[in-house]
Structure 1
Amino acid sequence: MRCDLCKTAVAQMHCDTCLVNLCTACVGKHFSADLSIPHKIVAFHDRKSTLFYPGCKIHVQERCKMYCKQCDIPVCVSCLASKQHLSHELSKLLEVFNNKKEMIKKEQNELNDTIYPTYQDIASDVQNRMSQLQKEYGDLSTAITKHGEDWHREIDKLVQKLKAEVDEMKNTQLQTLQKHLDEIMKKISDIKEEIDLMEIATDTNDLSKLFNITSSVDIYRNLPNKIVPSLPKFIPEKIQKEDLCKLFGSLSSSSFTSDEHGYSMKTTQKSPEAGSSPPVKQLLDEPETVTTIDTGYRELYNVVCLSDEEIWTSGNDNTMKLYNINQGSLLKLIRTKSGNRPFDIAVTKSGDLVYTEYRDKSVNIVKNKKIEEVIRLQNWLPQGVCSTSSGDLLVIMNSDDNIQTKVVRYFGSTEKQTIQFDDQGKPLYSSSGSIFIIEYQNIIENRNLDICVSDTGANAVVVVNQAGKLRFRYTGHIPAAKNESFRPLGITTDSQSHILTADCDNDCVHIIDQNGQFLRYINCGLCVTWGLCIDTNDNLFVAQCGKKQVKKIKYLQ
């Protein structure tokens, strides 16, 4: 915390009267600013320990230490002397304060333990209904499209049938006309031949030849019948839109029902089976390192918890290693199918390992030591991957030319949702714009179903809700741990919906709340922080790239 006056020095003192943070050099300046007020200066760690009685609205210089129940206001000694509150029931303001504080504490506990988790569950239920609604409306559109395709196929068949009948009629009439033409051409040839003979006969003096010529003119005077084809006509049925809708099908109406008893308040009795909100945990003043695991990678990038005893790791080669946390021993080693290094790793709800291959454009799952390709991308390169509470996979990916970036939700290999732009149509996530530069982007789902992305290219953590609407961007906290720019890489969340991100250049981990407010740094001697994950007991695991080690850190009480 910095001094509220000079804004630069660390706050060592606090004025409990004015609620102002002060460095030792600014204490005198604060006193002299207003000598009419009895300033109470305490050590910074003892701040807010002094009760601050409210000033009287009538007698400005007086402090109210009594409370009039009839008038429902604090009163000072001068107010009591004025006989304005004569015969009124009075109480010490401290008693009222303590009672009020106790009542607020109870209401706060009710809000924390019951009402807030209930509303979170309601929001989750509505978001799940929205997701299901999108899927079901998609299925409805698909059914209509399929029915339309069926109609098109039947219409195409009918059109082909009618066109075939037209071709058959055309060929029959053409054959008839061709036969008639052949007969006429034969007679034309005969007539020409007879004309030639008559020409020869008229030029000769040989009477015998002349008398041998027999004329067929009488035959040719009888002209052939004229054959005129009769063309068929296409008589289309008039399309009546109403009849067409009845034949094709129609939609029933949609509606909402409102059930005032549809939701019930969460019980304050907690049990593992109840699925209630987790107990509130406070941040430790000093996070502590529990253990360190050596991984043997030349550069260590990713870590993910399989259980509270085992972690998967990946680095700069084509292997993924499973380690026992307590013993630090290697339990299993899996090599990627293509021989490329995995870009990111995750564990599904059923305990299967998932990894992305950037160069191979694939997302793969390891089941019983066998690698199955789940997703094969075209024109996109996968980066970060995570498994959601609903069993979906979230994958953040770049286009081949590194101009676009998007998040895609998959159920198995089926694409369910794409998140790429904000409400103004602007990109949510950065892109390097060069095929030679890769900006690292990792992804995680928070307990409240927000989707959190560490966007290295934008030097920001980008958080959207389940529907893909932007909630906030976190761009670091000043002063930074090493005064370097915020460069987020790994990202994870805990049971308190805190978002934790690894700041590689400042060798630390930032903790922010679910609304993007900075809470604290975790240092613990970290070096080149990269991948992060959290186990079920809220222990933090940090992959240190240069040290080739995973650190297990306790940071919550």
Structure 2
Amino acid sequence: MALSKAQDIIACNLCESDTKLKWKCLDCDLLMCNKCCDKVHPKFKNAKDHTIVDIKQVGVSGGVRHQDFTNIKCKIHTTQYCCIFCSSCDKPACPSCITKGHAGHTFIEIKEAYEMKVEWLKNRKRKLKMNETRLGEGDNTLDQILVRESSNCQKTLQDIQHQRDALKKEVDRYACRLIEEVNKNMTRIRESISKEKKKVLTRRQLEENKLETIEEILTTMDMSFFFENTDLIPKYFDQDVGVVNSSHNRMPLFKSGTISQSNVGTLYEDISSSNTAIAMKINKEFITGFKYCQYMAACSDGTLWIGDDAMKILHKMKPEGNILQTISTIKTELRGIAVTHNNDLLITDGQFKLKVVNGRTGKVSESKYSADPLGITDVHITSDHKVIVGAMSPGKAFPVTGRRVVIVMDQEGNHLTVYEQDKFKRNMFSYVWRITSTNTGNICVVDCLSDDYRSKVLVLCGDIVNEYVGNQVINKEDKRLQIANITTTPSDNIVVVDFDNHIHILDSSANLVYYYNIKEIGIEFPYCPIFTSAMSFYIGCYQPEGSTQKARLYEIQYSGF
């Protein structure tokens, strides 16, 4: 909803003629043009100690608002101006109104009424913003439901296909019918969620229009316009936006029957908690030719980049059966690697500029991504093609000196955001060890706190910083969290691997969902995980000091996160 408005032009508060406002004195609370700021204001007492800022920093609305309460024409007696506000009638009144229609009523100053209504509007504005936030959260919940149910659909179809392959030829027709039913269920779920998302979008747009309308009223200089339109607010604006319907049909799972024509299997509704039990099992095991699988990145063609900084070597490898076939090898220092969306590889060797490996030719060259004069400690590429690096001032990692930052760049290498200090001006990072991100844009940082790898996870979500320092069951005072690596799953869970054989599964806000001791499936010394699908991931390991064995790489099938 849009309202027409008329605003007085604000002039310089000193000369009262120049309308090209440039500066504001925070001490005098005055808006000034360039000339008055240079020539007139310095003559004020103690002017040299005043704080003067560019008006762009505070806006005109942050300056002095000289509302003209003497120019409100009476709607009934059009030749007179309102001089007081009738609280009983909730409107301004002129002298004639007072004597003729407001006997026994309560009156207050127009300015006081204005201030009361401004406060009332601000309260309504806060409520609208809360409504918009709630709708946004509901919209995100719908997206998460769709991702979860799509994953369930994929698993259900796979279970049906496996069962179908084990059955006799004559049951094929019945299995096809079940598959068709699953697809119809998923179609209904998509349609239901799509319909609800359209409703949410409509309501969000309505709330945004309401916000725009209130903002127009709050910033107007026309008091007639202000009071006339403020009266409309309760009728049109105090409507509950309702709640987002997040209850939708669930994807039925597949229950296997005996291998017979009469009992192929049936679909059933999963009425248990949405928190599915975590399960992992080794699908394949590979023996590498090096001691540490410290760095890994997956290309879309199925090849893997695996790096060992101890040997200062980087391999491009292709899993073939249970063998890793080496395609190419690069000798280089390593601090972090990341595959771009066109299968090139970005490398940091601790210098201020990233290197790039051409995915087709294998040629190594300098990239356009720089943190100069800071040395880059890790690199990550987001789902929307941004490049994120951790960086520090030249020197040793510990004790902490100089700058420690996280930098977000666009595809051209331009710096978009630099994270360095929190809202209390305290340094956020000790040493940026590893970086990943969620599909929703949260940046997840492993901050190493000391040279014994004691560390924590920071999840940056706009101005909000969430922290994970471990699980109280396994990370007691004498066993602090020591993180080897971090990554995210296709469903936006955060996966943290520690040096004590545990996998910590967090939600996108750094809350612990589950932890898993990977030794239970026969894996020791995990180091670097990388997810390649919604059902499987690789985890590279290392060998402890003194061991003569080579590091293992495992392909793991998983479910539940």
TM-score bracket, normalised by the shorter chain, equals 0.3 to 0.5
> Whose Rg is larger?
1
Q: State the TM-score, normalizing by the size of structure 2.
A: 0.46
